[in-house]
């Protein structure tokens, strides 16, 4: 049986083919082509793919902001993602429907965003140097003015108890 399969693979892909990866790649492409509810994304790992279920009517692109989008983070579960833009707004989206779950208005462009692993809090950093914490369920907001210049990065600790922020002023805050 395997020799006949090998002959088919050789005929289709050539004699020097990396057969397992070619077969997996071919099957994944066939699966994605047949099921309109899957989108296929090639990862940085050689010949590995990730499939995400998406509604068939979504093309993969939508207008999230009225100006340039500066940052985006996907929640650990993949159920949400948060974006920030030059329109001074951060937005939390439901990944499966692309519905807006929460909008956080601001006064300066949003330059960095983060969402904790429990998907309870988003952090929003801006050009003003401020970092806002917003509780997703209650929409309660706390603002911290720890940096003197634009916030460039935000990352929650896996427990959600700590947030690290960095700024172009050369400081890191925990």
Q: If we measure between CA atoms, which residue out of 126, 156, 120, 117 comes closest to residue 144? A: 126
Global confidence as pTM: 0.65
Q: Within the chain, which residue ranges are assigned CATH 2.130.10.10?
A: 69-173
pLDDT along the chain (174 residues), means of 10: 44 50 46 38 41 46 80 90 93 89 94 95 96 93 92 90 92 90
Element at 100 (helix H, strand E):
strand 100-105
Between vectors from CA 39 to CA 68 and to CA 24, what angle results, nearest 5°? 135
Element at 28 (helix H, strand E):
helix 19-34
Secondary structure in 3-state letters for 150-170: CEEEEEECCCCCCEEEEECCC
pLDDT of amino acid 15: 53
Q: If we measure between CA atoms, which residue out of 54, 35, 37 comes closest to residue 96? A: 54
CATH number of this structure's domain 69-173, picked from the four choices 3.40.50.620, 3.40.50.460, 1.20.950.20, 2.130.10.10: 2.130.10.10
First-to-last C-alpha distance (Å) of the chain: 60
């Amino acid at each position: 049986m395997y020799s006949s399969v090998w002959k088919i693979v050789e005929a289709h892909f050539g004699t020097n083919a990396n057969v397992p990866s070619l077969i997996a790649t071919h099957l994944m492409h066939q699966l994605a082509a047949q099921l309109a509810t899957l989108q296929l994304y090639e990862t940085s790992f050689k010949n590995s793919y990730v499939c995400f279920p998406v509604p068939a009517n979504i093309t993969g692109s939508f207008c999230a902001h009225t100006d340039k989008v500066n940052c985006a983070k996907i929640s650990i579960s993949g159920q949400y993602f948060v974006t920030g833009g030059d329109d001074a707004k951060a937005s939390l989206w439901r990944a499966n429907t692309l519905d807006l779950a929460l909008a956080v208005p601001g006064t300066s462009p949003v330059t960095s965003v983060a969402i904790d692993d429990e998907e309870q809090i988003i952090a929003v950093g801006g050009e003003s140097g401020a970092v806002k914490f917003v509780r997703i369920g209650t929409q309660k907001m706390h603002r911290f003015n720890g940096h003197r210049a634009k916030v460039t990065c935000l990352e929650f600790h896996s427990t959600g108890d700590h947030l690290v922020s960095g700024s172009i002023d050369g400081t890191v805050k925990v």
